[in-house]
Amino acid sequence: MDKMISENGETTADGSICGYDSLHQLLSANLKPELYQEVNRLLLGRNCGISLEQIVLPESATSLSSKHDFDLQAVSFSADKEQMRMPRVVRVGLIQNSIALPTTAPFSDQTRGIFDKLKPIIDAAGVAGVNILCLQEAWTMPFAFCTRERRWCEFAEPVDGESTKFLQELAKKYNMVIVSPILERDIDHGEVLWNTAVIIGNNGNIIGKHRKNHIPRVGDFNESTYYMEGDTGHPVFETVFGKIAVNICYGRHHPLNWLAFGLNGAEIVFNPSATVGGLSEPMWPIEARNAAIANSYFVGSINRVGTEVFPNPFTSGDGKPQHNDFGHFYGSSHFSAPDASCTPSLSRYKDGLLISDMDLNLCRQYKDKWGFRMTARYEVYADLLAKYIKPDFKPQVVSDPLLHKKSS
């Protein structure tokens, strides 16, 4: 392989490959077609043994993409035809975006700028017939949780606040369920802050909310300065289009968190995130895909885009010199399916909308095929966990009796 290419087909400054899509460009340029197809099958899987099909979107959606310069992709998952059930096809969308104004701009202008930026992308989802749409983590603000500065708390709002009202109108207009991850201010409980996903129904109503279960304490992710672990459990929201759940950001690193949503009956689990290349990118295409396989549901992974620079430098818990930015949020939003297939990702650098048609019958078909639920030993796991959380827990380790015997 004699050259390294960036997402736009150009050689990168450091010779590195940027993202899955660039890897595909590199492979397609250097491998024979039949070998490339085999590598592509292993990287992205094949839905029910066939390649994912491209969806032809209406011109009204593609023109919005061209006019407002955001990445737009659409592919379709399929399932086997059944004799006793009709197909349950739902159209699902993910939006990734960068912030609209510098972090030094007035806070109200920053929020309004993001609203204005997302409006045409949401409109594109609406005219394309998307049934369920999910936005990225803390989409209404810069991801300022690296700074430890309290002034960013001003972006917090109640569940029925400004962003929800903005989205309620669009949800009702397009008959679309919208998942809106925000920084929540709990007015009724001492104005405590939470990292929360608000579920807005297709009639413009608020179905419910879920608060982030796992809070990172890694490098620049100083999120426990602002909010702590959520108190809403693992709710699954039954909508007219299917049963959905939200595993917010850092929860994707916790297999039992994924499991709990599956045990509660989720058919689609969204993972709205804000994560940077130097930390998590090798994990990004693996964890969600594994969760979809292990739990027999679809996963929608969303990551924001861009580098957000803050006015004041801050330090990390990893000994690095003080700095003013998190690093690059690498986008790369994608869908994963229960059969191990997944979509190509959105751009690593641009705002984008990814649309997928998915037959939810595939969830039960793969439960039946692999029998993960039937063969799981939940009673054994429950017994171990019950012991583990007690102060007198001792690991079940069987040592070689000769291991610690003194040599004679």
**Catalytically active residues, by annotation:** 137, 212, 249
Cα dihedral sign for 134, 139, 145, 147? positive
Q: What is the number of H-type helices and E-type strands within the chain?
A: 11, 15
CA distance 125 to 60: 10
Separation between Cα atoms, residue 339 and residue 330, nearest integer Å = 26
Q: Tell me the two tokens of residue 42.
A: 């292993």
| Residues with Cβ within 8 Å of residue 301, at least 6 apart in sequence | 94, 252, 271, 273, 284, 288, 333, 334, 335, 336
115 contacts 166 by C-beta, under 8 angstroms: yes
The tokens for 400 are: 């070689």
| DSSP-based three-state secondary structure for 82 | coil
Question: Strands 89-96, 305-314: parallel, antiparallel or unpaired by DSSP?
Answer: unpaired
Q: Round to whole Å and give the CA distance between 327 and 275.
A: 9
Both tokens of 140, joined, read: 């209404």
Helix (H, G, I), strand (E, B) or coil at 127: helix
Q: Are strands 242-246 and 268-273 parallel, antiparallel or unpaired?
A: parallel
Q: Say if CB 342 and CB 356 are below 8 A apart.
A: no
